[in-house]
Amino acid sequence: MSTASIEFLGFAAAALTSLSWLPQAWRTVRTRDTRAISLWTQSLFALGTVLWLTYGLQIGSWPVILANSLTLVLVSMIVMMKLRFG
């Protein structure tokens, strides 16, 4: 497999896994209903995402950097909504 094919695979995986958070973030922002969301789980996930982003920056992997940057934005929105609306 060529380097370009491997990078494309990484970007495709990054897009799918990162965008999977979009419906939850959109619903949370739209309804402000956070009762079923665990702050503990979302916070741990956000921390893990920060670590993955740091790792991606260290190794210079654009799929890892972009995926975790987008995911961090979306999960941070959910955490902020949970903190604001309980």
Where along the chain do its domains lie? 3-85
Assign 86 a pLDDT band (cuts: 50, 70, 90). confident
Structure tokens at 40: 């503990």
Assess whether pLDDT exceeds 90 at residue 49.
yes
Is the Cβ–Cβ distance between 62 and 7 less than 8 Å? yes
Query: What global pTM score does this model have?
Result: 0.86
CATH architecture of 3-85: Up-down Bundle (1.20)
